[in-house]
Amino acid sequence: MRAAVAVALATAASLAVWLGVQRRLPVLGAVPGFTLVERAGTPLTAADLTGHVWIADFVFTRCPDVCPLLSNRMAGLQRTFAQTTDPVRLVSFSVDPAHDTPEVLADYAHHFGAGDKWLFATGSRDAIMGLLRDGFRVAFADGGPAATPITHSDRFVLIDRELRIRGYYHGGDAADVARLAQDAHFLSGGEAVIPFTALPALNATLNGASAILLAAGYLAIRRRRVRTHRACMAAAFGTSIVFLISYLTYHLQAGTTRFPGHGWLRPVYFTLLGTHTVLAACIPPLASVTLGFALRGRFTKHARLARWTLPAWFYVSVTGVVIYLVLYHLYAPA
């Protein structure tokens, strides 16, 4: 039985690695060449950032609301990447070039504790607007006089070593910023580890594997194949443990994913989700006690409890896959 659990854990780990290798962040565009001025008064060009993974955002120092939030998010990312061997660069572009001189940006950077891997760039109004429009392709509006800030996006943009745009993230959404941090680690590590955003697919895969093992274990015991039954149920238990760890890891950082559907599917989905959630909370203690009875040789009690545990466990595993397909394929997350 222990060997079966070890096999289940090894299989789950292999699936994780496979998913990590197969997934690639899309290429959404490219940042063109530019020449701006950094807060230190030195030139900052696109060539200076080539060879580095970096994150861009758009702020101005006189902003009273969203910009301080974005800069606090950047400060958090700076702390996240500080201990890595190849720190991700951060670049904040000022959309108020008439006011945000290098000296003003230096004071602003000092306020947020910016280090040498967090750059602040300014330049001519035309250069900034060109980057927003043709480079980063983020929303902006320029309907005011030259002395006023450009109305700007709250998006963070992830750029790879070849100046290719690999993702856009809501700067005001903590879960999206957490996803950005994971994707940036993914890129800076050579795209060789499982990314945070692949965890839902991994969870669905583990749920599906658990359902198959449970069905095989049930058929085995109906045919009096006790050893096969033990191996399948132990493997299902081990797979579910890995699922639980992966599930909690994802949702503790990303929170919940909202269901955007309408019409008849909405009550169907929430009925499915409600029953899945209630039974999922019951499965860990039920499965543990049921397995415990078998390990202690108390097979009568084991069989009685298994009549309740098995269908509930199977239902949770199958509906977990269905919920994933609805959320991440029928309705892609916003």
Q: Do 280 and 160 fall within a single domain?
A: no
Question: Residue 108 belongs to a domain with what CATH number?
Answer: 3.40.30.10
- pLDDT tens digit string along 281-319? 999 999 999 999 999 999 999 999 999 999 999 999 999
Do 308 and 302 meet the contact criterion of CB atoms below 8 Å apart?
A: no
Question: Tell me, what's the pLDDT at 143?
Answer: 59
Q: Do 95 and 158 fall within a single domain?
A: yes
Q: Do 282 and 298 fall within a single domain?
A: yes
Question: Tell me, what's the pLDDT at 23?
Answer: 44
Q: Do 180 and 61 fall within a single domain?
A: yes
Domain enclosing residue 276, as ranges: 2-22+197-330
Candidates 114, 76, 111; CA nearest to 92 is 114
Candidates 306, 208, 313, 291; CA nearest to 5 is 291
For residue 110, what are the CA distances in angstroms to 123, 305, 327? 20, 63, 42
Q: Do 128 and 166 fall within a single domain?
A: yes
Q: Do 87 and 184 fall within a single domain?
A: yes
The residue out of 164, 193, 222 marking a domain boundary is 193
The residue out of 173, 193, 213 marking a domain boundary is 193
Do 38 and 120 meet the contact criterion of CB atoms below 8 Å apart?
A: yes
Do 48 and 35 meet the contact criterion of CB atoms below 8 Å apart?
A: no
The CA distance from 103 to 247, in Å, is: 46
Q: Do 86 and 103 fall within a single domain?
A: yes
Q: Do 131 and 209 fall within a single domain?
A: no
Question: Residue 14 belongs to a domain with what CATH number?
Answer: 1.20.120
Number of domains present in the structure of the chain: 2
Question: Tell me, what's the pLDDT at 261?
Answer: 81
Question: Tell me, what's the pLDDT at 21?
Answer: 36
Q: Are β-strands 118-122 and 43-45 bridged in parallel, bridged antiparallel, or unpaired?
A: unpaired
Digits of tens for pLDDT over the chain (334 positions)? Answer: 444 444 444 454 544 444 443 345 788 999 999 999 999 999 999 999 999 999 999 999 998 888 999 999 999 999 988 877 677 999 999 989 899 999 999 999 999 999 999 999 999 988 988 888 888 988 766 656 666 667 778 899 999 999 999 999 998 888 899 999 988 988 886 444 455 667 888 999 999 999 999 999 999 999 999 999 999 999 999 999 999 998 887 777 556 677 878 888 899 999 999 999 999 999 999 999 999 999 999 999 999 999 999 999 999 999 999 999 998 888 654 4
For residue 180, what are the CA distances in angstroms to 50, 118, 193, 210, 306? 19, 16, 15, 30, 43
Report residue 199 as tokens.
């965890």
The residue out of 139, 173, 193 marking a domain boundary is 193
Q: Do 16 and 59 fall within a single domain?
A: no
Q: Do 75 and 174 fall within a single domain?
A: yes
The CA distance from 194 to 153, in Å, is: 30
Question: Tell me, what's the pLDDT at 7?
Answer: 47
Question: Tell me, what's the pLDDT at 132?
Answer: 86
Question: Tell me, what's the pLDDT at 257?
Answer: 72
Q: Do 67 and 177 fall within a single domain?
A: yes
Q: Do 248 and 288 fall within a single domain?
A: yes
Which pTM does this prediction carry? Answer: 0.53
